[in-house]
Amino acid sequence: MLLSGSGYIAAGNMLRIMTTSHPPFHIVLIEPEIPPNTGNIARLCGATRTVLDLVGKLGFSIDDKHLKRAGLDYWHTVEIRQWASFAEIREAFPKARFWYTSKKSGKSYVQAEFLPGDFLVFGKESLGLPDDLLQRHPEQSLRIPILSPSVRSLNLANAAAIILYEALRQTGQLGE
């Protein structure tokens, strides 16, 4: 399967662009449902040299025009990997650190101490991450504080940007 026509290769269950540098971070989307969210996150990943890992059943086709429109002409800059399951990505990176995001988490993302190469994991838009996953990893579970009781959650692409840029800031990768 090809993404956007060039630069991508199929490798088992992964779709990816060949790169030679080490990515600062990975954004992991588990079963994303809304094409423009994933497209916007792909653009974010392209801008920051972050790998985008797509896990499980997607709620759209990789060829979706809304997905591509949101990513615009940045697809060639994004290293995208597709995984059949979350267990598969954990198996492929046994020593990696994973941060799990949820509005149910007790720890704010600003309390995390990010390291280059960390995996930032986000659940599907309608359900978030499974409770049992969060319960198994309470110290690695993060939330973005929402100050208004009338707002139940943030948009997935906004949440990914907030946490990724904090991780980049903490690790000195913003060229300040």
> What pLDDT, on the 0 to 100 scale, is given for residue 67?
61
pLDDT on residue 117 = 95
CA dihedral sign of residues 153, 65, 30, 108: negative
| H or E segment and range at residue 143 | strand 141-143
Instruction: Please check whether residue 1 lies inside any domain of the structure.
Output: no
What distance lies between CA 95 and its chain's CA centroid?
18
What is the pLDDT at residue 61?
75
Q: Decide if 20 is inside a domain.
A: yes
Q: Residue 50 belongs to a domain with what CATH number?
A: 3.40.1280.10
Is the model's pLDDT at 54 over the cut of 70? Answer: yes
Q: What is the pLDDT of residues 71-98, one digit of tens each?
A: 556 777 889 999 999 999 999 999 999 9
HEC letters along 105-138: CCEEHHHCCCCCCCEEEECECCCECCHHHHHHCH
Cα separation, 136 vs 127, in Å, equals: 18
Q: Residue 82: give the domain boundaries.
A: 8-170
DSSP code at position 56: S
pLDDT digits (tens, 9 = 90+) for 27-50: 999 999 998 898 899 989 999 999
Q: How many domains does the chain have?
A: 1
Is there a domain that residue 3 lies in? no
In a domain, 2, yes or no: no
Strands 14-17 and 8-11: antiparallel
